[in-house]
Structure 1
Amino acid sequence: MNMKEPCYAGYVATRGIAEYPDGHNLGDRARQILGSGVRAGFVPMNANKAYWFVVFNSSGEKLTNVDLVRKEALDYVRLWPTMITEAINRSPPETLSRKRLADRWMWPVGGPPLYQGGVTLAGDAMHPMTPNLGQGGCCALEDAVVLARSLSKVLVTTDPPAAAWATRSQAQEMQEIELALRSYTEERWRRMLPLAIRSNITGAVLQIDNDFVCSVRNMIISSFVTVDRFLDHTNYDCGSLY
């Protein structure tokens, strides 16, 4: 499809799942702690496991050794609350991951076509985005619903399938499918472009590496950014399958 490679956002995320055989005291609330050029967060999964992440500014060099990945994450938060370092140390090696965060904005014009020859894209293949809004997987599910609905308008008829398709030539079939894919991609870019830009800007603000600017940022966030406002992008209905 000749899609460009996603653009590196300038920071890396190390993630893992901490295990607490005797239970943890993290409660049931997700939380995020902001620093200068680094942030960390928790999302309790159940009474004995918690997902965590450490995001830090980086030139993007690769690191695959699990022990070094753990050490690197610990180095960035060594002076932070012990619950963070404890979570990192409690994570089995197989749960650790380290990824360069990147995105590609889904412009409506000026780029390669998002559908061709009856083929289209969905999820990260179409619109990779930084995870700052927590919407990557959600948007992929939205893609599935919108794509199925768009195709159903041309593939599902009230007539028996054999009779319906018998009256169409192969060229007509492909033309109708292409129109459905066009409808799908047009609907999705209207959703995804603003979301990808917002996620990118959010990440840039959260990754500021200047102590004074960070203090101003933290004051503004704590004073004016409510949970409802931060999560308003999740109040989206992509419609039904049919």
Structure 2
Amino acid sequence: MQQLRAVVLGGGIGGLTAAAALHRRGWTVTVLERAGALEPVGAGIALAPNAQRALDVIGAGDEIRAMSAWQDAGGLRLPGGRWLSRTTSDAAARRFGGPVVVAHRAELVRLLASRLPAGSVRTGAAAVLTDPGDAGRPARVEVTGGEGQAGDGTEFEAELVVGADGLHSATRRTLFPDHPAPRYAGFTSWRLVVPRPAAPFEPHETWGRGCLWGTVPLHDGRVYAYATAVAPPGGRAADDERAELLRRFGGWHEPVPAILAAASPDAVLRNDVYAGTEPLPAHHHGRVALVGDAAHPMTPNLGQGGCQAVEDAVVLAGLAGTARTPGELSRALAGYTDARLGRTTDVVRRSARVGRLSSWTSAPACALRTAVFAVAGRLGPGLALRSLDGIADWSPPATPPEPARRPVC
């Protein structure tokens, strides 16, 4: 009997996790990625314990922990170098069941892709949803092109389509055309990966007036750094983005100047930050489910964008994996919305609150913020971790045993 078919639109972290989880549940999966290769723009990604437990579901948790840098200690600083608060991996483990680990995004993508059969991922394949389907008919997708190429007109019919096409998701617009688009959060971001400076340092996030900088080590001897700053949308440096970072952060404490000295101008990535202004009415419609930024774009301030995408993927696959009939699949997708909509809405809002706090530019307001952080720091690392309570301690729901094959709905 023919296996269930799923088409995943987007080969990022959420899409590949969904594909791997569905394949593990016995589905035939095709991933359509518009880029010419599964080579994400190089930057790090923090994976909190909730995401690691989700990756355990597809047998990838131990491997990602092995290829990641554990953050043994770190904390919050001021641009002059003063520490406001500190925390440790032991404190995070006691509170959330494990530490936050940081991996290179490209390594995570390769790990997830390795969980799929050869030929499952088709790159250079931009695709559009042409019919979301319903309980009585499958969904349909058409390949319209790719990087520098016209579409070949290939059509796919599937029992399930997973919209994992990111922040400006065309799939989301097709399903919910009247829903407000993500809105500019008021600040832009930079990311870079460089060799580790010779001088020792502790991982840190440093907050200034309307801007912040973060530095975390990777397991391979490199360093992942990120920064945000209040700026008009669409801005670009007149010369290059490394020079822009030097102007904004070059006078901050070490290792910030050393990292900028080690960066090449073409290695600095800049992206404006957008987030959802209100939750979608559902994370599914017909036979289509949305995951990650396609469903709930959020600011990066809690480090949960990729983590929530991974959660989405394993929850969706766990529920869809129980379906044997069209009615059961419809109920599974409704269950996916029930399981994810409220949780991700809360994470989006909490992350936005931290983003607004980090964007304060008023000197008196920033002085008050510093005083509050300093008091919190003196009360111990547990208080500093409270922003992730109810988030990083999440565990995936139990799922039935994995089937070898399932009939087509």
Normalised to the residue count of structure 2, the TM-score between the two structures is 0.50
* Contact 2:319–2:335 (8 Å) recurs in 1: yes
Q: How many residues align?
A: 218
* Contact 1:150–1:184 (8 Å) recurs in 2: yes
Distance 2:399 2:268 in 1: 36
Q: What is the identity, as a one-letter code, of the residue corresponding to 2:346?
A: P
Q: Is the partner of 1:43 in helix, strand or coil?
A: strand
* Contact 1:13–1:53 (8 Å) recurs in 2: yes
**Which of 238, 256, 261 matches 1:84?**
256
1:114 to 2:283 alignment? yes
Matches within 5 A, 1:178-217: 178-217=330-369
Deviation at 1:94, TM superposition (A): 5.0
Identity across the alignment (%): 28
Structure 1 residues 179 and 241, CA, compared in 2 at 3 Å: closer, same or farther?
A: same
Partner of 1:52: 225
Matches within 5 A, 1:68-147: 68-105=240-277, 107=279, 111=280, 113-147=282-316
Deviation at 1:197, TM superposition (A): 0.3
Structure 1 residues 223 and 77, CA, compared in 2 at 3 Å: closer, same or farther?
A: same
Deviation at 1:64, TM superposition (A): 7.8
Q: Is the partner of 1:51 in helix, strand or coil?
A: strand
* Contact 1:118–1:178 (8 Å) recurs in 2: yes
Structure 1 residues 44 and 72, CA, compared in 2 at 3 Å: closer, same or farther?
A: same
Partner of 1:239: 397
1:25 to 2:200 alignment? yes
* Contact 2:180–2:277 (8 Å) recurs in 1: no
Deviation at 1:222, TM superposition (A): 2.2
**Which of 384, 387, 392 matches 1:230?**
387
Structure 1 regions of 5+ residues with no counterpart? Answer: 156-172
Distance 1:24 1:241 in 2: 47
Point out the structure with the larger helix share. Answer: 1
Normalised to the residue count of structure 1, the TM-score between the two structures is 0.82
Q: Is the partner of 2:206 in helix, strand or coil?
A: strand
Structure 2 regions of 5+ residues with no counterpart? Answer: 1-174, 378-382, 401-409
Structure 1 residues 207 and 119, CA, compared in 2 at 3 Å: closer, same or farther?
A: same
